[in-house]
Amino acid sequence: MTMIEVISLLEKLATDSTLKSHDIAHLLSISTLSEPVKKAILDKDIDKLKAFLAMNSSTNCPIQIPAEDAPEDEQSEESEAANS
Amino acid sequence: MAGSLYCVGVGMTLGAHICPLSRSYIENADVVFSGVSDGFVELWLHQIHHDVRSLQSFYGKNKSRHITYREMVDTMLAEVKQGKNVVGAFYGHPGVFAKAPHDAIARARAMGYEAKMIPGISAEDCLYADLGMDPGKQGCQHYEASQFMLYKRRIDPTAMLILWQIGLAGDLTMGIDATGAAERRLLLELLAQDYPLDHLCWLYEAATSPLQTPRMEQMPLKSLVFADIYLHTTLVIPPLAPMIPNPLLRARLQQLQLKDKHKMTTHKNNVIPFDTSRKNNHDHD
């Protein structure tokens, strides 16, 4: 429940252009979140927030592009080109 | 043929950057695979769809990302082959500096399935907005940092230079660990061929949550070696000098356009002729 409430709150903060910073305090005051979680949100302390929510604290590994193609990729590109 | 694959971008900041079409594809998918920036965004996706499967588990220590990306593609395609409507939800833009979504779409299409990419707001888009830089002002060059080091490039210091994946600069292992000061020193050596080491650059990281502010840290190039650089950090090098005019080409263009202007004014009228027969026939119907 706490997690759903936090994510909904983050989505609201991210998508409502009329919200000012003092509105965060108001939104938190009417939420059922625990005081430490509220404080972490107010302090914008993402790491503490993750800890309270028992989330993995590490950032995900980004999906990226390799600097070079894998040798097998090059081979398949060559064979595709040969077939076309 | 039943089964489809849509790779959609969810943007950089949780909830704020996704377009209605991408959201609709996620909502209506049979299964959603996620490659997103952090746990908050994963949980947010879970609120949109009940079956969201993270692709993060495919990364591994001492495992080549070539293998990781192939496994990601295989996993998504396995569901497509079962006739499911599959969505790959990727942070930012799914087709910008991201191998797996492009490969997955190409393979799905080659097998005859419907496959499409839906763009998202990328780190590049956020960078221009946050740093107040317009790539059109003096031009802009983008390179993957390791590729920039491994292949010879002709750099134009009068345009902006953006090096992506700077955290992996010089990596030859295709692993997931950031490279260190030694590799960055080599990168700096390369940059020093075109830029003075006190030229100011930016380290940039887009905000992924409304609680964050983007990282916009300005420093001289020489400070890069020991700066805090992560896998998602981008290096932005503003132009060093103004653009160099090309008076010869300007003169030729002026000559050309003067000639065209003369042609236009000597023409019977200045209206570009067009065929009215079709309209007239229609009028007679």
Give the closest of B35, B39, B147 to A68, CB-based. Answer: B147
pLDDT of residue A60: 83
pLDDT of residue B27: 98
Tokens 């293998």, residue? B67
pLDDT of residue A74: 62
**Judging by beta carbons within 10 Å of its beta carbon (0-12, 13-18, 19+), is residue B190 exposed, middle or buried?**
middle
CB of B222 within 8 A of CB of A52? no
Tokens 């080491």, residue? B197
* Contact call for A7 and B150, based on CB within 8 A: no
B102 vs B93: CA distance, rounded Å: 11
* Contact call for A67 and B101, based on CB within 8 A: no
> How far does the CA of residue B184 sit from the closest CA of chain A (Å)?
16
Contacts of B165 in chain A (CB under 8 A): 62, 64-65, 67
CB of A14 within 8 A of CB of B14? yes
Contacts of B144 in chain A (CB under 8 A): 65, 67
B177 vs B145: CA distance, rounded Å: 15
Chain segment B141-172, per-residue pLDDT in tens: 999 999 999 999 999 999 999 999 999 999 99
Q: Supply the pTM of this predicted model.
A: 0.87
ipTM strictly over 0.95? no
Q: What is the mean pLDDT of residues B69-74?
A: 97
Q: Is B65 a known active-site residue?
A: yes
* Contact call for B39 and A66, based on CB within 8 A: no
Report in angstroms the alpha-carbon separations of B34 from B6, B37, B83, B175, B210: 12, 9, 19, 20, 20
pLDDT of residue B269: 60
Q: Which string of DSSP letters, residue by residue, matches B109-138?
A: HHTT-EEEEE----HHHHHHHHHT--HHHH
Two tokens, residue B183: 């590799």
pLDDT of residue A84: 45
Give the closest of A56, A60, A66 to B99, CB-based. Answer: A66
pLDDT of residue B157: 98
Residue A59 has what DSSP assignment? P
Regarding predicted confidence, which is higher, B88 or A65?
Answer: B88
Given a cut of 50, whether residue B283 has pLDDT beyond it is no
Question: Which amino acid belongs to residue B229?
Answer: I
Chain segment B130-144, per-residue pLDDT in tens: 999 999 999 999 999
pLDDT of residue A61: 86
pLDDT of residue B235: 98
3-state secondary structure of B9: strand
> How far does the CA of residue B146 sit from the closest CA of chain A (Å)?
6
Given a cut of 70, whether residue B41 has pLDDT beyond it is yes
Mean per-residue pLDDT over chain B, rounded: 93
> How far does the CA of residue A48 sit from the closest CA of chain B (Å)?
12
Say which of B6, B25, B69, B113 is annotated catalytic.
B69
Q: Which residue of A has its CA nearest to B232?
A: A62
Q: What is the mean pLDDT of residues B72-90?
A: 98
Stretch (H or E) spanning B235: strand B234-237
Beta pairing partners, B114 = B4
Q: Which residue of B has its CA nearest to A51?
A: B39
Residue A26 has φ and ψ, to the nearest 5°, of: -65, -45
Mean per-residue pLDDT over chain A, rounded: 82
Given a cut of 90, whether residue B218 has pLDDT beyond it is yes
Contacts of B152 in chain A (CB under 8 A): none
Given a cut of 60, whether residue B265 has pLDDT beyond it is no
User: How sure is the predictor about B281, in pLDDT bands with cuts at 50, 70 and 90?
Assistant: very low
**Closest Cα to residue B201, out of B173, B231, B229?**
B229
Percent of chain B with pLDDT over 90: 86
Given a cut of 60, whether residue B284 has pLDDT beyond it is no
